[in-house]
Amino acid sequence: MDQRRLILLGTLLLTVLAAAFYWYGESDNGFNKQAKQEHYKHFAPEAIVAGYQQTIFNELGTRQYQMEAKTVTHYSQQEAAEMAMPIITFYTPNETQNDSSNIVDDNYYDQTDWVAKAKTGIVQDQGDTLILSGNVNVIKPIKDSEALTFSTESLLIKPNDEIAKTDEPVTLKQAQHITEAKGLVIDIAAGKVELLSNVRSQYVPAQL
């Protein structure tokens, strides 16, 4: 098994179990309660932890991506964890890094490359799959230009493979340009986006 996957799963479970306080009270705390009941109504959560944050490092020991959530609920019987208000941030190599040097400084992966947010998220497959649902927004910063944004209702992310995809309708925006499509695939590492079908674009002039 890939070492990063073991680290991700182990850290997630240890963080939840060590910091968890066993409560399942009335407060929703930002959770999509209907979705939680639909997916896990037959299972009681093992633990819930608030203020979750985890950083995953690559083979060089520099940041690859970071996961955050308002709360994380762990279901051991389903080998899954559910996140409320999840945020996943991917990092890209610093352009100033000297390729001829084997030394990597602390800021090598400090540039934010992609950021995805949603109402809920489910971690499965020993940390190798993250399913975002509800008001999913993805932001891709563009140097010397306005950021490119994506909005959809669900997004499947393979963090270790740096791939994200959806079959849902998606809207892309950058400045006054708006593009709509049915489904997309994002190659995070390569910085490429493929729109799958029904692509329509329009230009909306700025209001003076």
Fold held by 3-203: lipopolysaccharide transport protein A fold (2.60.450)
Answer yes or no: pTM beyond 0.85. Answer: no
Q: Burial-class residue 180 by CB neighbours within 10 Å (0-12, 13-18, 19+).
A: middle
CA separation for the pair 28, 163 (Å, rounded) = 31
Q: Which among 115, 117, 181 has a CA at the least distance from the CA of 148?
A: 115
Task: Render each residue's pLDDT in the chain as its tens digit; 208 residues.
Answer: 555 554 555 555 545 444 443 333 334 433 444 454 455 545 677 788 899 999 998 888 888 999 999 999 988 777 889 999 999 999 986 654 444 444 444 444 457 789 999 999 999 988 899 999 999 999 998 877 889 999 999 999 999 999 999 999 999 999 889 999 999 999 998 889 999 999 999 987 765 5
Which run of H or E residues covers position 69? strand 63-75
Q: How far is residue 128's CA from residue 32's CA, in Å, rounded to a whole number? A: 23
State the Cα–Cα distance between residues 23 and 21, nearest whole angstrom. 6
Domain boundaries, the chain: 3-203
The dihedrals phi and psi of 196, each to the nearest 5 degrees, come to -85, -45
Pairing, β 177-187 against β 148-158: unpaired
